[in-house]
Structure 1
Amino acid sequence: MKELKRTIRLLYTGQSQRARRFRYGLVVFDALTIVYFIATAALPTTQVTAVTNTVLGILILFDLVARFWISDNLRRELARIHTLADLLVVGSLLLAPLLTENLAFLRVLRGLRLIHAYHLLRDLRRESVFFRRHEDAILAAINLFVFIFVTTSFVFVLAFDEQAGFAGYIDALYFTVATLTTTGFGDITMTTAGGKLLSVFIMVVGVALFVQLARAMFQPSKIRYKCSECGLNRHEPDAIHCKHCGEQLQIETAGSTVA
């Protein structure tokens, strides 16, 4: 068991080519599952989708158990936002046959796993100049993407009949984006107190996420690299000294410079 645990730990945290390929494989799996959950959110449950959901739930559960097993701090692992999201996703997948409520909107939370894992972020920062320069914008875009589609799925479950199908889901997406941008066309509205509170939530949180994305896109590009002397972790892409304390930096680059 010790050898198995060591092997799994190396796959999740190691620096070998095999470990990096494994982590990128997890990203591909995460991306495919989120696309599947979005595509099937408005579809009626069939025997095929029920089996597929159960299989995906088991695979995600295996990933969770492996991460818990190799973790040096289980409490910290449980406190991570993508871990909590995965727990909700697994619950919505494995408990769905026992419940009457439609929990499809919870499954889109799987998107929080996309590149939010610490070791994957480290891999991308080391291997991709593009990611290092645009990390904040990429993460903000993923957060906004997840918020839009989780909210859309929730609006669909709350305000539309299951029989509305794909057209109803498009209406829910349209309502979510119109509310988020405060456009307020008024052709699709919430009439209940709960629906109005949901609209307020979409506007407040959605606008905040949208502003965060806009700021990340248009502010000067920075690279995350912790200064060993003062701890400052944001620097210009071509910085050779920390602008706060003057300590020499050794930011890994691919040889390119920023004009």
Structure 2
Amino acid sequence: MSELYEGDTDRAHLFRYVLLAFDLVTILFVIVTSFFVHPLWVEITDLVFGVLILTDFTARVYVTEHKLRYLSRPSTLADIAAMVSFLAPLAGEGLGFLRILRTLRLLHTYQLMNRLRQDVKFFRKHEEVIVAAINLLVFIFVTTGLIYALEHGHNPMIRNYADALYFTVTTLTTTGFGDITLPGTSGRMVSIAVMFFGVTLFLRLAQVLFRPTKVRYECQSCGLMLHDADATHCKHCGAVVHIQTEGLL
């Protein structure tokens, strides 16, 4: 079991890709089921997902050497929240948004990122942009889930996940059409938090996404691959580098 979670074999990498696919399915399930009243099959699916997540969580705790350190990680706490929300379907959508926090662990797994570097040339070439895009999507996704969980059921303007996503995007981009608002003191506090913390982070990630701070260029002397876009010398060995820029074609 330890080999599957921490090994470097093809079987271990395939196993972790399967886990990633499973997590993407759970995320899609959360979004789709926010658009309609939950029938019995949705609650049953919740329980099935919960059991699978519990099995995965138990296996991870079993194979890790430093269990207390592992249990105190934010990603582990997100797993616990996801597991509880899936295993308590009768609690309704009040806990449903916690499932979204699972993305915080999945998309930052070192072994998976390392495997993508080995397997996918496109990922190696555009790693910084891809990671920024992933971070941006995760941030928007989690913020939307939080707003949906806090407002759905008592705010008539937040009827489903799409409404919460629309409010999140218009707030982060400072568009602010005003057709969807979060009323009350708690709603205003949430809006302030999204504007105060979210806009800055959103702009930073968007900047990295559209204008990366690093470019890939292999130094002929030491082999360093990542350099500043305007670098003329390698920071590692000092050798002259010839990086193509907008002014050097």
TM-score over 0.5 (shorter chain): yes
* Pairwise TM-score range, normalised by the shorter structure: 0.7 to 0.9
- 1:41 equivalent in alignment to 2:29: no
Tell me the TM-score normalised to structure 1 length.
0.76
What pairs with 1:11-160 in structure 2 (closer than 5 Å)?
11-97=4-90, 99=91, 102-160=94-152
CA distance in 2 between partners of 1:201 and 1:49 (Å):
32
Q: Which moved more, 1:82-91 or 1:199-208?
A: 199-208
Q: Deviations over 1:70-98 (max 9, x none)?
A: 1122233224332221111001111332x
Runs of 5+ consecutive residues of structure 2 not aligned to the other structure: 217-223, 245-249
CA distance in 2 between partners of 1:129 and 1:78 (Å):
34
CA distance in 2 between partners of 1:205 and 1:28 (Å):
30
Identical amino acids, percent of aligned pairs? 41
- 1:187 equivalent in alignment to 2:187: no
Conserved in 2, the CA contact under 8 Å of 1:153 and 1:169?
A: yes
Conserved in 2, the CA contact under 8 Å of 1:178 and 1:184?
A: yes
Kindly report the root-mean-square deviation, in angstroms, between the aligned alpha carbons of the 2 structures. 3.1
Tell me the TM-score normalised to structure 2 length.
0.79
Q: Deviations over 1:17-68 (max 9, x none)?
A: 1111111111111111111111113432221111101110111111111111
Code of the residue aligned with 2:226 in structure 1: it is: H
Q: Deviations over 1:215-236 (max 9, x none)?
A: 322124456xxxxxxxxx9734
TM-superposed CA distance for 1:174, in Å, is 1.4
Code of the residue aligned with 2:200 in structure 1: it is: A
CA 78–139 in structure 1, closer or farther in 2 if over 3 Å, else same: farther
Conserved in 2, the CA contact under 8 Å of 1:41 and 1:153?
A: no
Could you tell me which of 172, 175, 186 is aligned with 2:167?
A: 175
Code of the residue aligned with 2:105 in structure 1: it is: R
CA 115–154 in structure 1, closer or farther in 2 if over 3 Å, else same: closer
Conserved in 2, the CA contact under 8 Å of 1:134 and 1:221?
A: no
Code of the residue aligned with 1:158 in structure 2: it is: L
Could you tell me which of 193, 198, 201 is aligned with 1:209?
A: 201
Higher relative contact order (CA closer than 8 Å, sequence separation 6+): 1
